[in-house]
Chains A and B, each alone.
Chain A
Amino acid sequence: MSRARAHREAWPLVAPAGLVLVVVAAVPMLYVVWLSLHDRTVFRPPTFAGLGNYARLAADARFWNALGNTLYFTVVSVALELLLGLAIALLLARAGRLRAAAYGVMLLPWAVPTVVSARMWEWIYNAELGVLNYLAGARINWLGDPLLALHAAIAMDVWKATPFVALLLLAALQGIPRDLYRAAAVDGAGPWTTFRRVTLPLLLPVMLVAVVFRTIDALRVFDAIYVLTGGGPANGTETLSIYAYKILFQTLDFGYGSALAVVVLAVTAVAAAAYARALRGGAE
């Protein structure tokens, strides 16, 4: 049948990509779950441990600390990125001729490797020689205090990711037909009402997309914090990914480390599923 022909023509073209994804992404995902069910370190041969690693996880205070740090980091940074991104997008929408130049400048934080960004901010946050303390006229040990360090990390992430959110929202803003604003003006709506009733509802789908991208990136954050603070001080900035990485590659406990990794996977999956539901329900 012709349906069979559609299959015959299309799937061979999709297969190579599919194969790479299965071998290098899907199989490892299954493998990590498998690993998490075992007791596997370099000292002994692997033995099946069932849910033992997960039980250990539930009782592990450091795990809960990492989970808390991750969630706090995610909520605060995404909220800030959304608000600042929206503000900047609104500014850019009215920028006129300046817009092209502003684009280029705003792409810089996004383009920079996260590791480089972390080193840059490490230098800025330096207690003795950092320019932040110099400009503030203070001697605050930004990276030496657990709570300060977490917020310093959040500030760094916001700096890096806001332009991406802003550009995404700008593209959506530019897609809103001018006639809607004219109609609102003729109907007597002031600027705040127009924003609330015309702009915001039409921006909501893209805002949702931006929130989802940023949330998932924030939940799995690793590079920036690894380089900025290494998870310290006193595990104050240790996120789930960092904790898992240390267990895996510093203590070489592949069983427990995999269980931690599976938790990160699960948390991300829950966020993604919530996104799918929200997108289906809200936008369409």
Chain B
Amino acid sequence: MKRALVWLGLAAACAWSVAPFAWQVLTSLKPQAELERLPPLLPAALTLAHYEAIFAGHPFGRLILNSVVVAAGTAVLALALGALAGFALAKLRPPGRSAVLAGVVAMSMLPPIATVSPLFLMVGAAGLRDALAGLVLVYTAFALPLAVWLMTQFFRGIPDELYVAARVDGCSAAGAFAKVMLPLAVPGLTATGLLVFILAWNEFMYALTLTSSVAARTVPVGIALFPGLHEVPWGEIAAGAVVATAPVVLLAIAFQRRVLEGLTAGAVKG
């Protein structure tokens, strides 16, 4: 009896999570005529017209490319810098590291609105406005606190003795990092890389502010700026939403174990 209740509750929770998506996917496949009235809920026929429209009528393909470049670039950069710093803080344990970690955590709580106006001015002055490089740089700083925190936790999980052994066996600190620590940190690197990618892909405010044309615009901004002048093209918005979400959702599901590790690392151990 209790079993049934638990499964019922879970089914409800899952339905609640999935239903808006399902509706959105359905909407994206409904012919335009059927979109203008409700009922019926389910379409008589399915169409891919909206998907065609967003790639033909809007430069959606370009937006996706931009997002991929920016998110991947941010992930690579944040991982590189974050892994180095995380290793140093976790294994080399310099004096002052708790202050640094506290500072890192504090930085992660920064509201984007606080830095968006100075960055708008600074990025403009540096000639990086409406450029992917500018976004990557800003996003890296945005993601670094998370990356440093996670990598510090993951390196803490690797036994100290392996580091000591590598040093005694003749490695310098950097050598021990490259030859022993890094290979063993691959799960942590994957989890962190995924989280940073998803974070960068989903970011909106900086992208809205620091880009002005399709040259550098990313998918979230494209989705937000969608409506035409007269009627709202719900079908196309739905198609855009599905396309915008698919990569991150696929990544999250394919690597869900890693993602969960990343989400709970440190937060549970405190």
Residues of chain A having any CB pair with chain B under 8 Å: 3, 6-7, 9-11, 13-14, 16-18, 20-21, 23-29, 31-32, 35, 87-88, 91-92, 94-95, 98, 102-121, 123-124, 126, 128-131, 134, 159, 163-164, 166-168, 171-172, 175, 205-206, 209-210, 213, 216, 219-220, 222-223, 226-227, 240-241, 244-245, 248-249, 254, 257-258, 261-262, 264-265, 268-269, 271-272, 276, 279, 283
Cβ contacts under 8 Å, A240 to chain B = 113
Q: Is the CB of B264 within 8 A of A258?
A: no
Please measure, in the bound complex, the distance between the C-alpha atom of A120 and the C-alpha atom of B22, giving whole angstroms: 10
Residues of B within 8 A of A11 (CB): 88, 94
| Chain B residue at smallest Cβ distance from A129 | B38
CB contacts (< 8 Å) of B94 on chain A: these are 6-7, 9-11, 14
B209 contacts A by Cβ under 8 Å: yes
Using CB atoms and an 8 Å cutoff, list the residues of chain B in contact with chain A.
6-7, 9-10, 13-14, 16-18, 20-21, 23-24, 27, 35-39, 41, 81-82, 84-85, 87-89, 92-95, 97, 100, 102, 104, 106-107, 109-122, 137-138, 140-142, 144-145, 147-148, 172-174, 177, 198, 201-202, 204-205, 209, 219-221, 223-224, 226, 234, 237-238, 241, 244-245, 248-249, 251-253, 256, 259-260, 263-264, 267-268, 270
Q: Which of B27, B111, B226 has the most CB of A within 10 A?
A: B111
Nearest CB in chain B to that of A221: its residue: B111
| Contact for B109 among A126, A258, A268, A283, CB less than 8 A | A268
Contact check: which of B89, B118, B238 meets A123 at CB < 8 Å?
B238
Q: Whole-angstrom distance between the alpha carbons of A21 and B102 in the complex?
A: 14
Per a CB cutoff under 8 Å, which of B14, B106, B248, B256 touches A112? B248
Give the chain B neighbours of A124 by CB distance below 8 A. 20, 23
